[in-house]
Structure formats: structure tokens, C-alpha cells
């Protein structure tokens, strides 16, 4: 069984391809499209593992390298509030001199 067949079977078993599932089956179909691109690229073993880690971060809008906290990484989002533009979870009330992660606060 190739990756497409395996993924399609699992998506169907989970009900994600059904018209009455969340988003009308779009999640299952979209996931299968991504699986097909991944399979087409020929990843296996180590490259597959690395690619999954990279994609996991990128698809969640998370940076691949440490933040620098340089001034060009901040967007003002309120009178005294800045948000990091590389990691939207990071906020500052003093233009980046100190900062916090909203998921940890």
C-alpha cells in the first residue's frame, strides 16, 4: 500500500472525507493533496522526518530559527502593544525590550 492509499484509508476511517464531516470533507481532501505532494517529492527515512518537522512549524506560522527581537520583527498592534511578526505568540509592551509568549503567560 503506498502513502496515498494509506492516507486515504485513514482519512475515510476518521470520517474526514465525508460530506457531513467538518468543513464538508474539505479537511480530508486537503490533507490528501498534501500527502500526494509529499509522496511525489520522494521523501523517505530521514528526509521525510526532517520535512515533517519543517512543515509542522511553517504551517503553524512558527519560525525555523531563533527570534532576534530586532526592531524590524515587531508590529505595533495597540497603543502600547507590539507583536512579533515572525512568531505571533510573542508580545511586548515596551517595543521588544521585554516580551512574553501568550501561550505561556
Q: Torsion angle of alpha carbons 14, 58, 46, 65, nearest 10°? A: -150
Q: Domain limits of the chain?
A: 3-59, 71-101
H helix runs in 1-105, sequence order: 3-13, 26-40, 45-59
**DSSP secondary-structure letter at 38?**
H
pLDDT exceeds cutoff 70 at 11: yes
Q: Round to whole Å and give the CA distance between 13 and 4.
A: 14
CB 87 within 8 A of CB 67: yes
pLDDT in tens, 47-100: 999 999 999 999 999 999 999 999 999 999 999 999 999 999 999 999 999 999
- Quote the pLDDT of residue 62: 95
Amino acid at each position: 500500500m503506498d502513502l496515498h492509499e494509506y492516507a486515504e484509508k485513514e482519512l475515510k476511517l476518521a470520517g474526514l472525507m465525508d460530506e457531513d464531516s467538518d468543513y464538508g470533507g474539505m479537511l480530508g481532501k486537503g490533507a490528501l493533496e498534501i500527502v500526494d505532494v509529499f509522496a511525489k517529492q520522494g521523501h523517505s527515512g530521514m528526509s521525510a522526518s526532517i520535512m515533517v518537522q519543517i512543515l509542522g512549524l511553517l504551517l503553524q506560522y512558527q519560525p525555523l530559527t531563533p527570534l532576534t527581537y530586532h526592531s524590524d520583527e515587531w508590529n505595533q498592534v495597540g497603543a502600547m502593544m507590539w507583536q512579533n511578526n515572525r512568531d505571533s505568540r510573542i508580545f511586548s509592551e515596551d517595543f521588544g525590550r521585554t516580551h512574553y509568549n501568550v501561550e505561556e503567560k
